Amino acid sequence: MANASEILFTRLSDGTLLRRQPDGSYRPTEGRSDHAKLAALTEAEIEALAASDPDHPALDDDFWDGALAPVPAKEAISIKLDSDVLRFFRRDGRGYQTRINAVLRHYMRANENAG
């Protein structure tokens, strides 16, 4: 895939952050997040930070109507998507595959209920 971005980081299930090395291997690296500072934030402070972020869309209660908890069983596949579609989902950062899955699930449920 010539247009795909190279994956430079990945995270293990235990939270360990790995960085890709020039030889193609991945090695642990330290994140720069201040976890103590984040843990000390109140819910009101988090809401205020989110509301002041120009890159964070306002998500009212209507947005979450029909949202379901993710289904625990996942299957790894390979799928080709238009580059602009992938770019759209990736622009919000980590979790883009989960967001794509949620959109597909919403479409699936809408079509199950329609037929």
**For the segment 87-106, what is each residue's pLDDT rounded down to a tens digit?**
999 998 888 998 999 999 89
CA–CA dist 21, 30 (Å, integer): 14
Residue 22 belongs to some domain of the structure:
yes
Structural domain contains residue 3: no
Task: Report yes or no on 4 lying in a domain.
Answer: no
Q: Outline where DSSP puts E strands in the chain.
A: 9-11, 17-20, 26-28
For 5-36, write each residue's pLDDT tens digit.
677 888 888 878 888 888 888 888 877 788 88
Residue 13 lies in a domain: yes
Stated pTM of the model: 0.39
User: Is residue 2, in this structure, part of any structural domain at all?
Assistant: no
C-beta pairs of 29-37 under 8 Å, 24+ apart in sequence: none
Distance, in Å, from the CA atom of 100 to the CA atom of 69, rounded to the nearest integer, reads 14
